[in-house]
Amino acid sequence: MGSTDRVINLIHLADGPGTSGHSVSLRVLGRFRPGILTGHDFLDCEIVIVAESVNATFSVTLLPEDLEDWEDALASLESRRFTTWLDSGRTPSMKFKPDESGGLWVSVHDGPSSGVTVTVPLFVPPAAWVGAQRDLLAGVREVYPREVVETSPGAYEWRSGGDA
């Protein structure tokens, strides 16, 4: 990681106090290829799942459009609708299924690499959990702003004001 990289959560979902202690997080570790136009705005990340008998970590590289898709997924989840994210086939995918009791089932499927699927029930998420996830997204965008623009297919340049 470069010296400007800072590890922060894009997603952090955890059981309420006094429940199973399950959690699912997506941690942004830094820029994928800092200072290189074609990879600077990609983010090196990991999905971390903690449950009683499972601790799993899946590597993920996010593209700028993945953050836009996460924002769309949050809109679906706010309406308590099932949604998928990162389902392009190039990374592990995530599925979020709200249930009738107010809980949330989160599945991570590592199709491109191991073929493993892990599903974790989360009980009684805070009432404002979608808002908290939006705040995390805003924080990622603040720490890792988009600094490269594609001026034509396959041609890139630094955005004006970019410090890279």
With respect to residue 163, please indicate whether it lies within any of the assigned structural domains: no
- pLDDT tens digits for the chain (164 residues)? 344 568 999 999 998 766 778 999 999 999 999 999 999 999 999 999 999 888 999 999 999 999 999 999 999 998 889 999 999 999 999 999 998 888 899 999 999 899 999 999 998 666 788 999 999 999 999 999 999 998 999 899 999 864 54
With respect to residue 2, please indicate whether it lies within any of the assigned structural domains: no
**CA-only gyration radius of the chain, Å:** 17
| CATH for 76 | 2.30.31
Per the structure, the complete domain to which residue 72 belongs is given by 8-158
With respect to residue 89, please indicate whether it lies within any of the assigned structural domains: yes
Task: Name, in order, each residue with C-beta under 8 angstroms of 124's C-beta and a sequence gap of 6 or more.
Answer: 15, 16, 19, 102, 103
Distance CA 99, CA 47 (A): 22
Percent of the chain clearing pLDDT 70 (strictly above): 91
Enter the pTM of the model.
0.89
With respect to residue 1, please indicate whether it lies within any of the assigned structural domains: no
With respect to residue 25, please indicate whether it lies within any of the assigned structural domains: yes
Domain count, the chain: 1
pLDDT digits (tens, 9 = 90+) for 112-159: 899 999 999 998 666 788 999 999 999 999 999 999 998 999 899 999
130: amino acid identity, one letter: V
